[in-house]
Amino acid sequence: MSLETSFQRRTLPLEYPFTISRGTKTETETVTVHIEDDEGNVGIGGAGPSEHYGETLDTVEALLPDLLAVVEDEDDPQQLARIERRMRETVERNPSARCAVSIALHDLVAKRHDEPLYRYWGLDAEETIQSSYTIGIDDTETMREKTETAVERGYGTLKVKLGTDRDIEIIRTLREVAPDARLYVDANEAWTPREAVSKIERLAEFDLEFVEQPIPAENVEGQRFVYENAALPIAADESCITVDDVPQIAGRYDIANLKLMKCGGLQEAKRIIHTARAHGMQVMCGCMNESNASIAAACHLAPMLDYADLDGSLLLAEDPYDGVPMPNGTIDLAALDVPGTGARLE
């Protein structure tokens, strides 16, 4: 079998400026990968690199020819595990570049079997969950308005970015306008351990689900201190990159938050899920600012998750790709009427 590969860079504007404790974005840059077999099936995958993990659009574009050469040399898309292993051997870092290829291959293989990806994996579409919708940092009034809009649109689970000197004020205000929403917060490493414990004690008054990455990933002892003293469950994001990190964070976090763009592929994502379960942890799948070229694939993991934060496409002003239906944030795999991941140009 012959496989033809290509990739394209895209700049996608966000609906609102998106601010976390590390900075603000008004647009996101992605690279989309296409892999076509000799029967005309096309697999689509996307890369959404993050400079926080040492990756840029330029590094993705520079390395994709080497990664796609692995695919063309293998010439059998069915060898998903072997191709991901060979890509890791070819490019050790740059996980989003590897992930774009992994997603495109999974999309292609599922299309060749004429099944949605979740069915190819043997998962149950009825065991799905609702994705959160993220409220980025802004002045408190603007955050209140964004929250009101999200509630009006029907989103029942909201993730709020914190890491300011008015974190408590923000949550108090947002809880007033979203009294029935499931809320959790993400500090993106912005707090010190003692500050985290103190703030979490106050935040617990507002019926929050959990707190994501309250302190820096490198502060191992601080993480243990927060875990042992926090009034709410703690989720690991920046502390959980690949499957090798999971045994290290067990006993310091309650929830492992995987992201495809961090871990490098769908095979690795499933390994993270199984390893976290073996260590008694819950599992969440998050995302970067991405299009449905990659978000659609992450949605097929939903039956294996406890939480999902897969709103990357929902935060865009416009997404050129369609994906898995997500009415009111609910990942509706059963409504997917095409094979593969569901990613396709509108």
For 271-288, the pLDDT digits (tens) are 999 999 999 999 999 999
Please compute the mean of the pLDDT values over residues 167-191 and round it to a whole number: 98
Banded model confidence at residue 93, pLDDT cuts 50, 70, 90 = confident
Same domain, 111 and 35: yes
pLDDT at 14 over 90: yes
Do residues 223 and 319 share a domain? Answer: yes
Q: Which domain holds residue 103?
A: 4-115
- Please count the structural domains in the chain: 2
Residue 39 burial (10 A CB sphere; 0-12, 13-18, 19+): exposed
Residues 178 and 290 in one domain: yes
Q: What is the mean pLDDT of residues 10-35?
A: 92
At residue 81, the pLDDT reads: 94
Picking from 88, 115, 142, the residue at the C-terminal end of a domain is 115
pLDDT of residue 2: 87
Same domain, 201 and 249: yes
Dihedral (CA of 298, 300, 303, 308) sign: positive
pLDDT at 1 over 80: no
Average pLDDT value for residue range 41-66: 95
- The mean per-residue pLDDT over the stretch 50-58 comes to 91
Mean pLDDT of 198-212: 98
Q: Helices (DSSP H) in the chain: which residue ranges?
A: 57-74, 80-90, 95-112, 117-120, 140-152, 167-177, 193-203, 220-229, 246-249, 260-263, 266-278, 292-299
- Do 336 and 200 belong together in one domain? yes
Q: Which of 115, 144, 168 is the last residue of a domain?
A: 115
What's the confidence (pLDDT) of residue 241? Answer: 97
Query: Mean pLDDT across the chain, nearest whole number?
Result: 96
